A and B are shown apart, each in its own frame.
Chain A
Amino acid sequence: MGLRDFFKPVPTWSADQVREFLKGQNPAEFNLVDVREPSEYEKEHLPGARHIPLAQLARRIRELDREKPTIAY
Chain B
Amino acid sequence: MKAYSMAGGIDAWNGFTASGPPEMGMLVFAGTESPEELIALSWALEEGSRRFYAAVAGTLQDKEAGAFFEKLVLAEESHKKTVVQLYGEITGNESSLALSERGDLQDIMEGGVRVSEALEWAQGKEAADILQYAMSLEINAYDLYLKMVKRFEEEPPATIFETLAKEEEVHLNRMAELLGTRT
Cβ contacts under 8 Å, B146 to chain A: 27, 47-48
Cβ contacts under 8 Å, A46 to chain B: 10, 13, 15, 17-18
Cβ contacts under 8 Å, A72 to chain B: 3-6
A13 touches B7 (CB 8 A): yes
Q: Does A12 contact B (CB under 8 A)?
A: yes
Q: Does B8 contact A (CB under 8 A)?
A: yes
Q: Does B19 contact A (CB under 8 A)?
A: yes
Minimum C-beta distance from B16 to chain A (A): 6
Bound-state Cα–Cα, A15 to B153, Å: 25
B10 touches A70 (CB 8 A): no
Minimum C-beta distance from B38 to chain A (A): 15
Q: Contacting B1 at CB < 8 Å: which of A18, A19, A70? A: A70
Number of interface residues of B (CB under 8 A): 34
B12 touches A14 (CB 8 A): yes
B165 touches A66 (CB 8 A): no
Q: Contacting B153 at CB < 8 Å: which of A11, A28, A64? A: A28
Cβ contacts under 8 Å, A5 to chain B: 1
Q: Contacting B3 at CB < 8 Å: which of A10, A36, A47? A: A10
Q: Which residue of A lies closest to B7 (CB)?
A: A12
A27-B149, A40-B10, A71-B3 known; 19 new pairs, CB 8 Å cut-off, are A10-B3, A11-B3, A12-B5, A12-B6, A14-B8, A15-B14, A19-B15, A27-B162, A27-B165, A28-B149, A36-B10, A43-B19, A44-B17, A45-B18, A48-B143, A50-B147, A51-B22, A66-B1, A73-B5
Query: Could you pull out 11 A-B pairs where Cβ atoms are within 8 angstroms?
Result: A1-B1, A5-B1, A11-B4, A12-B5, A14-B12, A15-B7, A38-B21, A40-B10, A41-B21, A48-B165, A73-B5
